[in-house]
Structure 1
Amino acid sequence: MSMALSATAQGDLDPFRLGIVCSAGRSGRPDLVEAHKWFNIAAQRGNRAAALHREEIAGELSPAEIARALRAAREWIAMH
């Protein structure tokens, strides 16, 4: 995990920003599953832009990848 992702996971960045980092590959290669997860978390917190980004990314993922992202978001929310 990169420094940016580690910092965000610890609460230093908001979920929307982490979704941007993951989708753009700013901390390495783009990770659309991880981006979908973070946009989903941000959307559940009321961020409308995150919901739009999540839907855009979903168009590039397989159903299995979307399921994995949703499961990861649920797990993260349950732990935090």
Structure 2
Amino acid sequence: MTDDRYDVAILGSGIGGSMLACILARHGVRTLLLEGATHPRFTIGESLIPETGIRLRIIGEKYGVPEIGWIGAFHRLRDNVSSN
């Protein structure tokens, strides 16, 4: 029997919801991430400005989730994240 209980449910898998889910899960919080839309969905990744990349790296380092920092840096994203 599986335990389908969660500590937190997050509505929306956008960048904010996804980051929060990653941080909480990394720290042992049983996290459920719910999205009403279908994927893949339209995104505008090229709208990230350099300051956003720096902030993502700071958040990733602060909460022990370096993957968050990879989002804001092309080479880190290319080298560490695949389409899988």
TM range (shorter): 0.3 to 0.5
Q: Which has the higher strand share?
A: 2
Q: Which has the higher helix share?
A: 1
TM-score, structure 2 normalization: 0.31
